[in-house]
Amino acid sequence: MAIEANGKVYETDEEGYLVTLADWEPVVAEEMAKEDDLELTDEHWDIINFLREYYEEYQIAPAVRVLTKAVGKKLGKEKGNSKYLYGLFPYGPGKQACRFAGLPKPTGCI
């Protein structure tokens, strides 16, 4: 599988996750969101950027429970709950947001 953005082709795996992490560009997230019928807002980008920073630091995509707790601590309590995160990413803040962020499927996601 692959997605196309700005005339460039980005290879993805059978679940739609980017194969090469280093290929990621913001336009990849926008294209993936378009396919999911989502428009990315600043609130989405807060989470996507947060995930990319988390991966940079720990070399893993966090499980939803860990993400929720960490977002609450970093972006404020009103955002650190699954209702808010699922509101932004209806297919799951772990799976969908990590995919947009160009990360592998979260560790601990079954």
Partner 1 sequence: MSEKIKKFMYLNRRAPYGTIYAWESLEVVLIGAAFDQDVSLAFIGDGVYQLLEGQDTSESDMKNFSTTYKALGDYDVTKLYVEKESLEERGLTLDDLMPLTWEDEDDDWAEKDSIRLVSRAELADVLDDQDVIYSF
From the list 5, 60, 66, 109, the catalytic residue is: 109
Residue whose token pair is 């700005």: 6
| Distance from C-alpha of 21 to C-alpha of 14, rounded to nearest angstrom | 15
Minimum distance of partner 1 from residue 93's CB (angstroms): 15
98 catalytic residue (yes or no): no
Task: Single out the residue of 109, 30, 18 nearest to residue 9, CA to CA.
Answer: 18
Q: Which chain residues interact with partner 1 by CB under 8 A?
A: 57-60, 62-63, 65-66, 69-70, 107-108, 110
Nearer to partner 1, 41 or 59 (CB): 59
Residue 27 identity: V
Report the catalytic residues. Answer: 109
